[in-house]
Amino acid sequence: MDIYLLGYMGSGKTTIGQLLAKQIGYDFVDYDQFISQKENASISDVFTAKGEIYFRKKEALYLKELLKETKTKKIVSLGGGTPCYGNNMQDIKDSNVISVYLNVPVTELTRRLWDEKSQRPLIANQESKEALEEFVRKHLFERSFYYNQASKVIKVNGQNESQIVEEIIATLF
């Protein structure tokens, strides 16, 4: 059964997904890269050239496509907003996959994101750590409704990457 990782940006979906896939012998799919390949452009270029509405429609279309693909077992790290738009979370819940929410505290997300904000258009304009933390807190509050519908919730609070992977394995298998 496929495993879909969800959570806010900076929660470690890609890093944990790659490690988990390697450990249990599944393929790994970074959903943002999957969309970029389909669109033949980066996510930020799609947003800039065609707008968010176009992007969200394509995101939903490609998610349905990925959810139906069953040739290989895979770990999919979703984009932070993917479960929060349209019927995406319901589509995930209605599919034969396990969804895992990496629940990282706001202060930890802020710490992680501050160092990489220039590479993340959604937060690039945040001028202080306090402003970034307020943004993350508000955004996470809005998205928590969707994230908490995941099959499993993993509370990330000080564990290293290997410990998180082991916790996911222990929870799922």
- Read off the pLDDT of residues 53-87 as tens digits, 9 standing for 90 and up: 999 999 999 999 999 998 999 999 999 999 999 99
Range of the domain at 49: 2-172
Report the predicted TM-score, pTM, of the whole model to 2 decimal places.
0.94
| Mean pLDDT for back-to-back runs of 10 residues, the chain (173 residues) | 96 97 97 96 88 92 95 95 96 97 96 86 87 95 97 95 97 92
- Under DSSP, is residue 75 helix (H, G, I), strand (E, B) or coil? strand
Is 32 assigned a ligand-binding role in the annotation?
Answer: yes
Phi/psi at 102 (5° precision): -85, 100
80 is in an annotated binding site: yes
Is 10 annotated as ligand-binding? Answer: yes
Confirm or deny that 118 is annotated as ligand binding. no
Cβ proximity of 156 and 164 under 8 Å: yes
- Domain count for the chain, please give it: 1
Instruction: Give the domain CATH number at 42.
Output: 3.40.50.300
